[in-house]
């Protein structure tokens, strides 16, 4: 196929949600329909999963949560789908934020019992920053949840986006009988406990059809007709262009656990979701149909296979064609690199690919050359924008509990922080290591992985710090003087940049007022700001 055809053939999206909304379960049902797996991971409860395809790290299986982004590729409806299943837990939100830079659309999962939750609102803020198209799946309709119209109102109010119902539930909880698909004008009846791919639904284009009453009962049929009349009268028809511009969100209802209402979402997604789009760089936008190859690293994962101690950089292809065993330009290092084993994924399972196209996410074996945000090109010198690291919210000193394993600890903490789930700072004298995270759970995950993947035991001691701020100034003398005076609160990031560890918000505001020549940055894109 030509470049244009390859681009139109692809859909790249992420599934996002508040924890426990059913995101990973929905992911597996998508894989069922794509034929990538034959049976989903058994779900023991809302919180504990066994053998989930996209949760391949041991600690994820133990805790029943996703703590790293998984990448999965499968075919459906004549399209090649690149699906990124993101962490739901807020402590790993930064990994999700970066993942959203690598996709062209998202599916947002909402728990019908709890409605819009705090993490949902934060994720939507990131989507709105980039006008990312959003499809909403309201999950767990087999439970006693809230009124569907009430949920639609809450979506519009809290997420600041217009919605358009594309499917509608027949009852809820104990009275849940099925879903009417407004997109294809078909009715699908609920079969609780069914875990395999559901059969084709009965098509009922005219809601006055007597088959509707026969299928769900007269009372339920009457309520469905009234609901659909209200929907058609209140909500505007779906404008696909408005959806692709992030101004309206199609809404679907179902039960991912029971594999119900999922096919409607996937069918509509294939029809209306955008193909790979342009990406911003420091030299303007790069269009996907630019024949010259380019891509950026949005995630790094060490020890994807603990038996081989491998380290994988996840690369989003943005333009042109990527080919195996071809030299490409690493912009930050200004060096040419060749990749003999590029891979695509089904979670932890990898297969070697000969070529990849815009929208694809591939894994590159990495010996330490890549950092998050790095750009690969056909030779051009530009850097993709909008993939920052954020200032952490919690800080702990890393304490080595086994001096005989110092080398393993140093290697492990550097590789794990390269993945982006935490940031590493060093303070002199004494080479003290400070780890900054968004949430407490990250420290637990880091400690677990250091012990089980690197054989190094550690502890984390709390330190007095409020915010880590990168610093720049047009007057180098002023900056050097500040660093000397505030030496007790100065650390260096992994690239050797000075960072001010503000002990409190008051002290940060005070230093900003007292040092107007110095700019204190809360994201790692400060280099671009200076340039």
* Domains defined for the chain, CATH in brackets: 3-272 (3.40.50.300), 279-377 (2.40.30.10), 394-530 (3.30.70.3280)
Strand-pair category, 423-427 with 361-365: unpaired
Give the per-residue pLDDT at 477.
93
Highest mean pLDDT among 167-171, 344-348, 493-497: 167-171
pLDDT > 90 fraction of the chain, expressed in percent and rounded? 52
Least confident of 31-35, 228-232, 355-359, 447-451: 31-35
**Which strand ranges, in their side-by-side order, compose the sheet holding 498-502?**
458-462, 394-400, 432-437, 423-427, 490-492, 498-502, 467-473, 518-521
Q: Interior CA angle at 110 toward 108 and 115, to 5°?
A: 140
Distance separating alpha carbons of residues 290 and 514, to the nearest angstrom: 48
Which residues are CB-contacts of 513 (< 8 A; sequence separation ≥ 6)? none
Distance separating alpha carbons of residues 79 and 63, to the nearest angstrom: 34
Mean pLDDT over residues 42-68, rounded?
43
Q: How confident is the model at residue 99 (pLDDT cuts 50, 70, 90)?
A: confident
Q: How confident is the model at residue 158 (pLDDT cuts 50, 70, 90)?
A: very high
Average pLDDT, the chain: 85
> 98 with 128: CB under 8 angstroms?
no
Q: How confident is the model at residue 206 (pLDDT cuts 50, 70, 90)?
A: confident
Give the per-residue pLDDT at 38.
67
- 440 CB neighbour count, 10 Å cutoff: 12
Give the per-residue pLDDT at 44.
32
Q: How confident is the model at residue 527 (pLDDT cuts 50, 70, 90)?
A: low
Give the rounded distance of the alpha carbon of 89 from its chain centre.
11
Highest mean pLDDT among 56-60, 117-121, 169-173: 169-173
Give the per-residue pLDDT at 200.
52
Distance separating alpha carbons of residues 456 and 435, to the nearest angstrom: 16
* Burial bucket for residue 240 (CB in 10 Å: 0-12, 13-18, 19+): middle
Mean pLDDT over residues 61-86, rounded?
72
Give the per-residue pLDDT at 94.
66
**What's the pTM?**
0.78
Which among 441, 389, 387, 447 is positioned nearest to 416, based on CA atoms?
Answer: 447
The model's pLDDT over 4-18, given as tens digits with 9 standing for 90+, comes to 999 999 999 999 888
The model's pLDDT over 233-287, given as tens digits with 9 standing for 90+, comes to 999 899 999 999 999 999 999 999 888 889 889 999 999 999 999 999 999 999 9
Residue-by-residue DSSP string for 312-327: EEEEEEEES-EETT-E
Which among 173, 157, 29 is positioned nearest to 112, based on CA atoms?
Answer: 173
């Amino acid at each position: 196929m030509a470049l244009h055809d390859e681009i139109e053939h692809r859909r790249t999206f992420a599934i996002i949600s508040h924890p426990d909304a059913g995101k990973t379960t929905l992911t597996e049902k998508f894989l069922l329909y794509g034929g990538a797996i034959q049976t989903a991971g058994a779900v023991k409860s809302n919180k504990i999963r066994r053998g989930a395809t996209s949760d391949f790290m041991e600690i994820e299986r133990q805790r029943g949560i996703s703590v790293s982004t998984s990448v999965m590729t499968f075919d459906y409806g004549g399209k090649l789908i690149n699906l990124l299943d993101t962490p739901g837990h807020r402590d790993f939100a930064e990994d999700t934020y970066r993942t959203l830079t690598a996709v062209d659309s998202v599916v947002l999962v909402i728990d019908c019992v709890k409605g819009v939750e705090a993490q949902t609102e934060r994720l939507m803020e990131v989507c709105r920053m980039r006008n990312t198209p959003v499809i909403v799946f309201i999950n767990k309709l087999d439970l006693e949840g809230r009124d569907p119209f009430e949920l639609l109102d809450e979506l519009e109010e809290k997420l600041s986006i217009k919605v358009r119902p594309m499917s509608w539930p027949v009852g809820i909880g104990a009275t849940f009988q099925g879903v009417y698909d407004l997109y294809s004008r078909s009715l699908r009846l609920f079969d609780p406990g069914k875990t395999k791919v559901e059969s084709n639904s009965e098509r009922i284009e005219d809601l006055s059809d007597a088959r509707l009453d026969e299928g769900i009962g007269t009372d339920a049929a009457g309520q469905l007709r009234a609901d659909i009349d209200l929907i058609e009268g209140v909500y505007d028809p779906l404008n696909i262009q408005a959806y692709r511009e992030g101004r309206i969100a199609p809404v679907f209802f179902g039960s991912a656990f029971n594999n119900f209402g999922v096919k409607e979402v996937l069918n509509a997604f294939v029809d209306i979701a955008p193909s790979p789009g342009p990406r911003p760089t420091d030299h303007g936008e790069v269009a996907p149909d630019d024949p010259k190859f380019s891509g950026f690293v949005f995630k790094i994962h060490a020890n994807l296979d603990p038996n081989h101690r491998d380290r994988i950089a996840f690369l989003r292809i943005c333009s042109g064609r990527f080919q195996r065993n071809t030299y490409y330009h690493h912009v930050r290092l200004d060096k040419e690199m060749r990749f003999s084993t590029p891979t695509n994924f089904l979670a932890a399972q990898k297969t070697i690919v000969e070529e990849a196209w815009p929208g694809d996410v591939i894994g590159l074996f990495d010996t330490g050359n890549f950092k998050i945000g790095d750009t690969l090109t056909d030779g051009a010198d530009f850097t993709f924008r909008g993939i920052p690291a954020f200032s952490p919210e919690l800080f702990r000193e890393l304490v080595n509990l086994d001096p005989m394993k110092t080398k393993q600890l140093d290697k492990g903490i550097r590789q794990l922080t390269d993945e982006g789930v935490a940031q590493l700072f060093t303070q002199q004298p004494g080479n003290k290591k400070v780890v900054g995270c968004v949430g407490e759970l990250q420290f637990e995950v880091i400690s677990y992985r250091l012990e089980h993947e690197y054989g190094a035991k550690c502890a984390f001691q709390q330190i007095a710090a409020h915010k880590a701020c990168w610093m720049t100034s047009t007057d180098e003398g002023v900056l050097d003087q500040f660093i000397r005076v505030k030496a007790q609160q100065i650390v260096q990031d992994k690239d050797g940049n000075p960072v001010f560890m503000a002990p409190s918000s008051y002290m940060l505001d005070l230093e900003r007022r007292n040092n107007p020549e110095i700019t204190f940055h809360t994201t790692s894109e400060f280099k671009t700001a200076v340039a």
